[in-house]
Amino acid sequence: MLNISNLKGLLPEDVLANLLAKNLKTISLIPKSPFQFMKKSLLIYTCLLSINLYGQGLPGLGAGTTPNNKPILHGKNWVAITGKPLGATAGAAIFQQGGNAVDAACAMIAATSTMWDVLSWGGETQALIYHPVEKKVIAINALGYAPSGATVDFFKSQGMDYPPQYGPLAATTPGTPGGIMTMLAEYGTMSLEQILKPSMELAKGYPLEAQTANAMEAQKERIKQWPYSKKIFLPHLGEEREAPVAGEIFVQEDLYQTLSKLVEAERSALSEGKSRKEAIYAAYDRFYKGDIAKEIVRGTQEQGGLFTEDDLANWSVKIEEPLHVNYKGIDVYKLQEWTQGPALLQSLNILENFDLKSMGYNSANYINTVYQAMSLAFADRDFYYGDPAFVDSPMEGLLSKEYAKDRAKLIGEMNDPKIGPGDPYPYQGGVNPFLNILKKNQNAMAALSPEDRSSSLDEKFLQDFLSGTTSVETADAEGWVVSVTPSGGWIPAVVAGNTGVGLSQRMQSFVIDENLNPYNLPEPGKRPRVTLTPSLALKDGKPFLSFAVQGGDSQDQNLLQYFLNVVEFGMDVQEASEAANFNSYQMQSSFGDHEIRPGAIVLRKDTPDWVTKDLSKRGYSIELWNKTSGPINAIWFDWKHGSFWGGSSDYGDDYGIAW
């Protein structure tokens, strides 16, 4: 006799439930007639096939997709993964010269910024670094802030509902140069000149890849508004195609000169007897307080921006303590609440109250549970997160296990399209100062949702919701680990004068209606709440997983599922990178018109019919895509064998090298 209950954990929960619903407790393996032989054989075959598929990992039934479309990257000395092949090559070159993981990460950020891989030199950089000597995770906050004059009243006076998506008024102060130089000075081993060499070679001219070339052409009408951008991106003005074509040598002479000035400042300081660290900070000062800063300010103001020289001089990189929670013995680290990162931590706290593994990978029950957990966490993100230098967000309450347990009780069989923020203040012994606004929030959020909730996810909404970023993942044999999601200054970007520096568009992540988020209103010197969110996880005090992804508001959704794929379903680092995720749109977009689409969900096209039908009955509006993993890059640490396993999604141009 085959006992059906013994199949628990081998079959997805919904398959097992279907068998038990037929009052089947055991299956006799001895037939009483030829007809029964055929019937029982078919049933047994179905069970065994399900177990086999579940183990193989076919979508909707098991752990990932086999075979992988990309190989696992195995290395024992180092690994470098980022958004473009040439960016990974830059990191590999630094490693081959003896640099550590921080040196390589800095070179990769610089290279991808030069390649406009959904970011530029005027964008922002945020990182988590594992320090092997101090045995701790360090957070790098190199997000620019709002310039002088950027206030709620200013944007309202311009007739705007939000700060703009594009143009000089969308720009926060440049953060990436400071982030690179601070990381290098504090935790690297090499000179700025060494790590900038690949970028300078790229700036002198490199064969442009199709993705970036086509982005320039698609955005050329907007680019033509800004003279310094037009000069760089549209070398064939007046022709049918005004942007470069794929494979054409793309030259950025102004940027090359700016990078050369940084190297000159470093060389000069070294010749005066300054240390490596002091020389790097001399270059930092030239960018933010010297002739480079003056040209950035002049060029930005010429095009209608608000930057002042004091705005650049007074900005600085922050080295911070990250936030973290423990999920089943694994410590997961994220940046503070000026990012959306804590939403992943909140989601893990909520999901710890459910037996996810028994539900089965991407079963209807699993998707429904994780979707609603994310909705609860992101509703809190949308109302409570902001720059801790200006506001006191209730992070102690938001990340408490008791708060998560009570939030988990709100998850039901049907999706709730009206899930809103909770009140975490009682969980940290306080009183909510915005209770009156919290009551108004439901109406404010409802106004961002289209009247027809079954409406499709139109192209503009998706483009805004999934707005760019890249990711950088490095690790070395000394124990340094770096996870970065640099971003900002994507095409179409305003270039600041004759510097070649493309400005950020991150101001659009502020809101100017306090009913939406009283913690995230613009004011000079304040950082907007951004989507950028690298991740590090430690197990037994040692690095376990380093992972990051691009994709705007979808980032922590994909990273949450990636983590669960590894921890709950036993996928390896590459399987989890390619696995079928689902994307929710039941949270306020951080971009554009800040829309929300309650109940909207994207599933991969090979999701079984019985799953999609079940989810439809639960109130979900479903779209099917060929790929849904997002371009996830990750490193898993094999302490048993002393090696690294690198994974790089097959979603985009992301690429890795290991040795």
Q: What is the pLDDT of residue 467?
A: 61
Name the residue type at position 130.
Y
Q: What is the pLDDT of residue 443?
A: 81
7 belongs to a structural domain: no
Q: What is the pLDDT of residue 55?
A: 36
**Count of domains for the chain:** 1
- Cα–Cα nearest to 52, from 14, 12, 1: 12
Distance CA 510, CA 528 (A): 5
Distance CA 383, CA 415 (A): 20
Q: Within a 10 A sphere around the Cβ of 413, how many other Cβ atoms?
A: 11
17 belongs to a structural domain: no
Q: What is the pLDDT of residue 651?
A: 83
Is residue 14's pLDDT more than 60? no
Q: Are strands 621-625 and 600-604 parallel, antiparallel or unpaired?
A: parallel
369 belongs to a structural domain: no
Average pLDDT for the chain: 90
CATH number at residue 571: 3.60.20.40
Q: Which domain holds residue 110?
A: 73-205+251-323+454-658
Helix H or strand E segment including 217: helix 210-218
Distance CA 68, CA 573 (A): 11
Strand partners of residue 73: 646
Name the residue type at position 539.
K
82 belongs to a structural domain: yes
Is residue 455's pLDDT more than 80? no
* Residue 146, φ and ψ in degrees, nearest 5: -70, 135
Is residue 45's pLDDT more than 50? no
Treating both helix axes as pointing N-terminal to C-terminal, what angle do 101-114 and 176-187 enclose, rounded to 10 degrees?
Answer: 160
Q: What is the pLDDT of residue 652?
A: 81
Is residue 491's pLDDT more than 90? yes
How does DSSP classify residue 159?
T
Contact 229, 495 (CB under 8 A): yes
How does DSSP classify residue 352?
T
Q: What is the pLDDT of residue 235?
A: 97
How does DSSP classify residue 8?
B
- What percent of the chain lies above the pLDDT cut of 90? 81
Is residue 43's pLDDT more than 50? no
pLDDT per residue over 503-532, tens digit each? 999 999 999 999 999 999 999 999 999 999
Q: What is the pLDDT of residue 469?
A: 75
pLDDT per residue over 147-188, tens digit each? 999 999 999 999 999 999 999 999 999 999 999 999 999 999
In this prediction, residues 413-423 reach a mean pLDDT of: 95
242 belongs to a structural domain: no
Q: What is the pLDDT of residue 627?
A: 87
Quote the pTM value: 0.89
Helices (H), 409-535: 435-446, 459-465
| Those residues with Cβ within 8 angstroms of residue 559's Cβ, 6 or more apart along the chain or in another chain | 344, 533, 535, 547, 548, 549, 632
Q: What is the pLDDT of residue 629?
A: 83
| Residue matched to tokens 């970036």 | 212
11 belongs to a structural domain: no
400 belongs to a structural domain: no
Is residue 626's pLDDT more than 60? yes
Q: Within a 10 A sphere around the Cβ of 659, how many other Cβ atoms?
A: 15
pLDDT band for position 452 (50/70/90)? Answer: low
In a 13 Å sphere around the CA of 306, the CA atoms on its Cβ side amount to: 20
441 belongs to a structural domain: no
Distance CA 4, CA 137 (A): 46
SS3 assignment, position 375: helix
Treating both helix axes as pointing N-terminal to C-terminal, what angle do 253-271 and 192-204 enclose, rounded to 10 degrees?
Answer: 160
pLDDT per residue over 217-258, tens digit each? 999 999 999 999 999 999 999 999 999 999 999 999 999 999
Q: What is the DSSP string of 422-438?
A: ---GGGGT---TTHHHH
